[in-house]
Amino acid sequence: MAQDDQLKKVIGHAKEYGFVFPSSEIYDGLSAAYDYGQLGVELKNNIKSYWWTAMVRMHENIVGLDASIFMHPKTWKASGHTDAFNDPLIDNKDSKKRYRADVLIEDHIGKIEAKVAKDVKKAQKRFGDAFDKAEFLATNGNCLRRQAEIDGINEKFKTAMEAEDLAGVKALIEELGIVCPVSGTRDWTDVRQFNLMFKTELGAVSGDAGLIYLRPETAQGIFVNFLNVQKSGRMRLPFGIAQIGKAFRNEIIARQFIFRMREFEQMEMQFFVAPGDQAKWYAYWKEQRIAWHKALGLGGDAAGTDDLYRFHDHIKLAHYADAASDIEFDFPMGFKELEGVHSRTDFDLKAHEEHSGRKLRFYDPEREESYVPYVVETSIGLDRMFLAVLSSSLREEQLEGGTERTVMSIPAALAPVKVAVLPLLKKDGLPEKAREVLQLLKLNYNVQYDEKDAIGRRYRRQDAIGTPLCITVDHETLTDGAVTVRDRDTMLQERVSIADLAAVVERKVGMATLFS
Ligand code: GAP
């Protein structure tokens, strides 16, 4: 299926079933703002819970925080956001459309990468099991030429950005022959820098005196609380602080559904380490985070899951980092950043020391000295994670007998509705028995009760929202105390005694399944 079609399908399905709605739709919507519906909020909460469990509950030396969105404006001066949180923008004079110059170049590279991927697929088909992807990439003439082309573009872009040579960025766009996707022309304006922070005013003070920003990342709330948490929690290095919360960026172009929004949610963790230890912890967190993703098994089997992710080490490092890598996911639009792992050095804490006049240091009893810790951060966009789950789960399946079904194979532990309880008929005491079963489960899981329509149609409705288990109460239940449990993915059914139901459900849909 074409990439655009797949994304459209996901957007349509998300709206139809109550996952995501356009914001303020009755007023024709607000560009790039979305509301999470009744199923969306459940899925979002489950993703948060999986992240929080993995980061905070499973690590004795990581604690949580919930800092405010508004922060003292000096925070952003110290962090460098006031001066350097810019994107290079460029306009096409014919279409009057505005683009991020770096994204235009990235998309151009993406097209070359897609050609490499096509060659790999072809070769894979030709050589079958004997195919060695690494060897093919290292020896095939076409792939080598294309990789050299990509490396050359990256190098030129990096050099121009590091020298703040915006004319050089424009020259590169012209050299690559990049055209505006709307007008198809190469009539570009100069490249300009654009600061992404949203401004607002505090209280009744207007003008510059009351000027504050909506935080563009949650991380700074953690940095300014480093000492509060370290002292009150008697934390010793290495230790981490984790936070989930909203962030705001006035993106030049917000697009691709919930992939790039102006209001979004981040799940970030800053891990404070001794100077000199950052490379070790950077490698550790890269490995931990990719394992967290792969444990979900998105895309079905293990091989499919592996193909959905790749690391992309940064060429152009942010002003605070000495190493950085993105975990990229194969979204319907191709491989794009899902999460960042950044070695942020001691930049932020040092800068806050300078701007606040307060010491932000740790006394290390082993080294017998005080120092400003180094930081390794993991930062994932919750909305992007939501899109990764949704887009990799939605599929149409051909069934025996020529029928088909729409199914969302959302990892069971993340599914918005865990169990549907369905009385076979709306009479003979079956609804009452089904409600007893519902009662048994609803404290621990989000459970739906449905008695409308034939059982087959009810199964299809649950498949379409990704419910892992359907429990059917039939006449036999009244005598043998057992129910039928149907699995969403295999569609197989098993008879389970009501006495064993809680344990069976937990084994199949509990969060523990992701940590085994
Ligand atoms: N504290 C570091 C930081 O904010 P980032 O790479 O700018 O790093 C981290 O952002 C993550 O936040 C990204 O990997 C992405 O998942 C998410 N993110 C960033 N901008 C976003 C946007 N406009 N819409 C949705 N998610 C976004």
Q: How many helices (H) and strands (E) does the chain have?
A: 18, 23
Residues 341 and 431 in one domain: no
**Angle between helix 141-162 and helix 166-175 axes, rounded to 10 deg:** 160
pLDDT at residue 206, as a whole number: 66
Q: Is the pLDDT of residue 303 over 60?
A: no
With a 6 Å cutoff on the Cβ, whether 261 touches ligand 1 is yes
Q: Which residues contact 400 (CB under 8 A, 6 or more apart)?
A: none
With a 6 Å cutoff on the Cβ, whether 215 touches ligand 1 is no
Residues 375 and 488 in one domain: no
Structure tokens given for 337: 């950043």
Q: Which of 34, 241, 264, 314 is the best mutation target for the ligand 1 pocket, counting ligand atoms within 8 Å of the beta carbon and taking the most?
A: 264
Q: Which atom of ligand 1 is nearest to the CA of 340?
A: 14
**Number of separate domains in the chain:** 2
**Comparing C-alpha atoms, which of 282, 278, 341, 280 is closest to residue 309?**
341
> Is 18 within a domain?
yes
CA distances from 136 to 146, 354, 402 (A): 13, 52, 40
CA–centroid distance, 424 to ligand 1, in Å, is: 47
Residues 76 and 202 in one domain: yes
Angle at 195 between CA 258 and CA 381, to 5 degrees: 30
Q: Is the pLDDT of residue 309 over 80?
A: yes
Q: How confident is the model at residue 304 (pLDDT cuts 50, 70, 90)?
A: low
- How many CA atoms lie within 13 Å of 296's alpha carbon, on the beta-carbon side? 25
Q: Which atom of ligand 1 is nearest to the CA of 219?
A: 1
Residues 386 and 438 in one domain: no
Looking at residue 304, which CATH number applies to its domain? 3.30.930.10
The CA distance from 70 to 77, in Å, is 14
Q: Give 252-267 as a DSSP string.
A: SS--TTTTS-SEEEEE
Residues 279 and 307 in one domain: yes
> Is 182 within a domain?
no
Q: Is the pLDDT of residue 475 over 70?
A: yes
With a 6 Å cutoff on the Cβ, whether 383 touches ligand 1 is yes
With a 6 Å cutoff on the Cβ, whether 260 touches ligand 1 is yes
60-115 pLDDT, tens digit each: 999 999 999 999 999 999 999 999 899 899 999 999 999 999 989 999 999 999 99
For residue 473, what is the enclosing H or E element?
strand 469-473
Structure tokens given for 295: 């444990």
Q: Is the pLDDT of residue 305 over 90?
A: no
352-404 pLDDT, tens digit each: 999 999 999 999 999 999 999 999 999 999 999 999 999 999 999 998 888 99
With a 6 Å cutoff on the Cβ, whether 340 touches ligand 1 is yes
Nearest CA to ligand 1 atom 2: 379
User: Where is the domain boundary, 365, 392, 419?
Assistant: 392
Burial zone of 465 (CB within 10 Å; 0-12 exposed, 13-18 middle, 19+ buried): buried
pLDDT at residue 52, as a whole number: 98
pLDDT at residue 255, as a whole number: 76
Residues 380 and 482 in one domain: no
Q: Which atom of ligand 1 is nearest to the CA of 379?
A: 9
CA distances from 284 to 38, 288, 290, 349, 377 (A): 37, 6, 10, 22, 11
**Comparing C-alpha atoms, which of 268, 273, 288 is closest to residue 219?**
268
With a 6 Å cutoff on the Cβ, whether 379 touches ligand 1 is yes
Residues 388 and 251 in one domain: yes
With a 6 Å cutoff on the Cβ, whether 385 touches ligand 1 is no
Length of the chain: 516
Mean pLDDT of the chain: 94
Provide the 3-class DSSP secondary structure of residue 65.
strand
Q: Which of 51, 218, 263, 266 is the best mutation target for the ligand 1 pocket, counting ligand atoms within 8 Å of the beta carbon and taking the most?
A: 266
> Is 28 within a domain?
yes
> Is 247 within a domain?
yes
pLDDT at residue 300, as a whole number: 74
Residues 206 and 319 in one domain: yes
pLDDT at residue 140, as a whole number: 93
Structure tokens given for 219: 């991380």
Nearest CA to ligand 1 atom 26: 381
Give the mean pLDDT of 36-49: 98
Nearest CA to ligand 1 atom 19: 381
| Least confidently predicted of 201-205, 237-241, 344-348, 487-491 | 201-205
User: Where is the domain boundary, 392, 427, 451?
Assistant: 392
Q: Which atom of ligand 1 is nearest to the CA of 249?
A: 23
> Is 164 within a domain?
no
> Is 104 within a domain?
no
CA–centroid distance, 266 to ligand 1, in Å, is: 7
CA–centroid distance, 141 to ligand 1, in Å, is: 36
Residues 415 and 310 in one domain: no
User: What is the torsional sign of CA 328, 331, 336, 338?
Assistant: negative
With a 6 Å cutoff on the Cβ, whether 328 touches ligand 1 is no
The CA distance from 393 to 388, in Å, is 8
* Three-class DSSP labels, 4-30: HHHHHHHHHHHHHCCCEEECCHHHCCC
Structure tokens given for 204: 């009744």
The CA distance from 366 to 371, in Å, is 12
Q: Which domain holds residue 262?
A: 2-83+196-392
With a 6 Å cutoff on the Cβ, whether 249 touches ligand 1 is yes
User: Where is the domain boundary, 392, 426, 446?
Assistant: 392
CA–centroid distance, 429 to ligand 1, in Å, is: 52
Give the mean pLDDT of 253-276: 93
CA–centroid distance, 86 to ligand 1, in Å, is: 14
Give the mean pLDDT of 493-510: 97
With a 6 Å cutoff on the Cβ, whether 14 touches ligand 1 is no
Q: Is the pLDDT of residue 22 over 80?
A: yes
Looking at residue 501, which CATH number applies to its domain? 3.40.50.800
CA–centroid distance, 381 to ligand 1, in Å, is: 5
With a 6 Å cutoff on the Cβ, whether 390 touches ligand 1 is no
Q: How confident is the model at residue 3 (pLDDT cuts 50, 70, 90)?
A: low
CB 372 within 8 A of CB 349: yes
- Per-position b or e across 284-315, b if 16+ CB within 10 A of its CB: bbbebbbebbebbbbbeeeeebeebbeeeeee
Residues 250 and 351 in one domain: yes
> Is 127 within a domain?
no
119-171 pLDDT, tens digit each: 999 999 999 888 998 899 999 999 999 999 999 999 999 899 888 899 999 99
| Least confidently predicted of 237-246, 257-266, 306-315 | 306-315
CA–centroid distance, 226 to ligand 1, in Å, is: 21
Nearest CA to ligand 1 atom 21: 260
**Comparing C-alpha atoms, which of 511, 28, 37 is closest to residue 258?**
37
Structure tokens given for 120: 């790999």
> Is 163 within a domain?
no
Residues 375 and 414 in one domain: no
84-95 pLDDT, tens digit each: 899 899 999 999
Q: Which of 218, 379, 380 is the best mutation target for the ligand 1 pocket, counting ligand atoms within 8 Å of the beta carbon and taking the most?
A: 379
478-490 pLDDT, tens digit each: 999 999 999 999 9
Residue with the larger pLDDT of the pair 2 and 411: 411
Nearest CA to ligand 1 atom 17: 381
pLDDT at residue 161, as a whole number: 85
With a 6 Å cutoff on the Cβ, whether 388 touches ligand 1 is no
Residues 339 and 469 in one domain: no
Helix, strand, coil % in the chain, rounded to nearest 5: 45, 25, 30
With a 6 Å cutoff on the Cβ, whether 87 touches ligand 1 is no
